[in-house]
Amino acid sequence: MTLDNSFSGEEILTWRRFQLSKGGRSVDLDWLLDIGGGLSWGDLQMMKIFEETNYQLDLSLVELSVIWMRFLNQKIPLQYQVGRCPWRDFELEVNPSVLIPRHETELMIDLAIKKLKPIEKRRGRWVDLGTGSGALAIALSRSFPQWMGHAVDCSEKALSIAQKNIEKLASNSTIDMHLGNWWDPLKNWLGTFDLAIANPPYIPKSHFEKLDSIVRDNEPHLALFGGKDGLDCCREIIHGSMKGLRGGGWLIIEHHFDQSERVLGILKKNGFLDVQFENDLEGIRRFALGRHP
Ligand code: GLN
């Protein structure tokens, strides 16, 4: 950080007004000022009153303008440009090899805690199938500190980002990383898992054109599209979970906004018990759960 990145409140507010005059939403620009510039929402409010105060930013206003322009004109996600994304109580490194972790996915950890009660059950084994940036794996290892964890991904590039994030954010954890397809690399542990969690690619191929171009043109298709009806990976994961989980173990899986009935049906067809859905923050059925008999 150099002194060049010191700006008065007035300069920052003028810059902010000018950037918003070019387009975009203040919520995104303020996200950039926070995550890219290191300027909190509280700082922004204070500077409206104390315009003379100087603020030391992590990036210069010129650098932040370039990012904002690439976001507005080329539709490149801010998270990829900044290289980071806050999620639950930590900040992940991200790049275009991994899906940008979504807020709704954060809820899966709360569901896991509710179902597994880590305090009561001190030891156990979880797996995050399709870990991407490692978001779910890191949150699980923080919530289930005594448990053994496994993180699987079929992309070598994703696995290396996940590894980096895990080293930084869950350094005391015991997480085995596996390169491969869903349950395939876990042959040695089949039947030993208390929890399997997955946010698989679930967007139907037919939605390709309808998908927001900022997602479609930047995020890895491997992490987005789940075949013709979007459920190819869901079916594979659920089927594998019958062998992977131990009796009483839980599977928690995220799916598309209109797939609840079908995913619950696949769980039932495979013999899962206590099959149920949970809503996301918007009140949409987003998660399916089932317990191994
Ligand atoms: N939730 C993401 C989206 O709607 C998709 C992620 C996924 O397919 N798992 O863009």
Helix (H, G, I), strand (E, B) or coil at 96: coil
pTM score:
0.95
- Which amino acid residue places its CA nearest to atom 3 of ligand 1? 224
Task: Tell me, in angstroms, the distance from the centre of ligand 1 to residue 198's CA.
Answer: 12
Closest atom of ligand 1 relative to the 230 alpha carbon: 8
Domain boundaries, the chain: 6-74, 97-291
Which of 87, 99, 237 most suits a substitution to test ligand 1, by most atoms within 8 Å of the C-beta? Answer: 99
Task: Tell me the pLDDT tens digit for each residue of 110-121.
Answer: 999 999 987 777
Question: For residues 162 and 142, what is the distance between their CA atoms, to the nearest angstrom?
Answer: 15
Task: Tell me the pLDDT tens digit for each residue of 247-271.
Answer: 999 999 999 999 999 999 999 999 9
Give how far Cα 190 sits from Cα of 30, 127, 140, 257, Å: 46, 11, 19, 30
Question: For residues 127 and 150, what is the distance between their CA atoms, to the nearest angstrom?
Answer: 5
Task: Tell me the pLDDT tens digit for each residue of 156-188.
Answer: 999 999 999 999 999 988 899 999 999 999 999
**Could you count the other beta carbons within 10 Å of the beta carbon of residue 243?**
13
Task: Tell me the pLDDT tens digit for each residue of 54-106.
Answer: 999 999 999 999 999 999 999 999 999 999 999 999 999 999 999 999 999 99
> What residues contact residue 90 under an 8 Å CB cut-off, 6+ apart?
138, 139, 169
Cα distance between the two ends of the chain: 56
- At 120 the pLDDT is 74
Asked if the 97-291 domain carries CATH number 3.40.50.12500, the reply is: no
**Could you count the other beta carbons within 10 Å of the beta carbon of residue 18?**
11
- Which amino acid residue places its CA nearest to atom 9 of ligand 1? 201
Q: Are 35 and 86 in contact (CB under 8 A)?
A: yes
Cβ < 6 A, ligand 1 pocket? 99, 102, 199-203, 215, 224
Question: For residues 73 and 23, what is the distance between their CA atoms, to the nearest angstrom?
Answer: 10
